[in-house]
Amino acid sequence: MSQASATFGIAPAVMGFVLVHATLRRDASELVQAAASESLTRRVALVDRVLGVHHRGEEDLLLPELVERQPGFVPTSVMIEEQHAQLDAAVDRLKRYARHGTTDERTAQADEVRRLLEEHLWTEEQRLLPVWQASFTAAELEEFGARLRWSTPLRDMSVIVPWLLEAAPPSFQQLAADHVSPPVRAVYRLWWRRRFQREYGFAAA
Ligand SMILES: [Fe+2]
Ligand SMILES: [Fe+2]
């Protein structure tokens, strides 16, 4: 367990979930600010990419595990998957508008993505997070975190790690740095950082 997670007594898997949500919130508000600018195309591509990875981790691992432990969680699990589908559709629409839409269409759609994302993150934090923490022991949370890491393909890690390290809100930057192990940070510095910045133009945005 990293120092920060140990300090706060929060399992790394839960800390990762909280970090991703905080960083998505920042991205969503920046999407709205970038709606009229050239950088919208790259910003929405990044949101699409990281949301896809986060949704997959929840749908393939976390939700089935919670449903198995808490059958009463089924309606919430269904609601979360529906929200994922709605968000994906809204992000796809924004990608199209980023290429061909008017400024009004881009601004309205970026705001719609922000609204749907906020509603979704709120749902998970209010209805999923407490059930997750109540259903797993500390050892099970450790084991789940390891399973999540091993099941994340390297090509997804190569985006998620730079995104967390560079896009986490200022008050989460230290937690993001502590969340990424030293060997993974070394890989980020040597290979992933440059490609991430080239692809998503993050440093220049
Ligand atoms: Fe989600
Ligand atoms: Fe989530």
Confidence of residue 8 (pLDDT cuts 50, 70, 90): low
CA distances from residue 171 to 26, 37, 46 in whole angstroms, order as listed: 11, 27, 21
Looking at residue 6, its pLDDT comes to 46
The residue ranking higher by pLDDT, 95 or 4, is 95
Please identify which residue in the block is written with the tokens 């993050």: 202
Looking at residue 9, its pLDDT comes to 66
Ligand number nearest CA of 88 is 1
CA of 21 from ligand 1 middle (Å) equals 9
Looking at residue 10, its pLDDT comes to 76
- Please state the domain extents for the chain: 3-200
Decide if 34 contacts 205 (C-beta within 8 A). Answer: yes
Confidence of residue 13 (pLDDT cuts 50, 70, 90): confident
Alpha-carbon distance of 1 to 8, in angstroms, equals: 11
Q: For residues 55-84, give the mean pLDDT.
A: 96
Please identify which residue in the block is written with the tokens 């393909």: 153
CA of 190 from ligand 1 middle (Å) equals 31
Phi, psi of 137 (to 5 degrees): -80, 170
Ligand number nearest CA of 20 is 2
CA of 84 from ligand 1 middle (Å) equals 6
CA of 21 from ligand 2 middle (Å) equals 6
Please identify which residue in the block is written with the tokens 């997670």: 5
Average pLDDT of the chain is: 91
Ligand number nearest CA of 132 is 2
Half-sphere exposure of 40 (CA within 13 A, CB side): 28
Does the 3-200 domain belong in CATH 3.90.700.10? no
CA of 124 from ligand 1 middle (Å) equals 7
Compute how many other C-beta atoms are within 10 angstroms of the C-beta atom of residue 199: 15
Looking at residue 149, its pLDDT comes to 86
Half-sphere exposure of 15 (CA within 13 A, CB side): 25
Q: For residues 100-117, give the mean pLDDT.
A: 96
Ligand number nearest CA of 79 is 1
CA of 96 from ligand 1 middle (Å) equals 23
pTM, entire model: 0.91
Q: Report pLDDT digits (tens) over 21-54.
A: 999 999 999 999 999 998 999 999 999 999 999 9
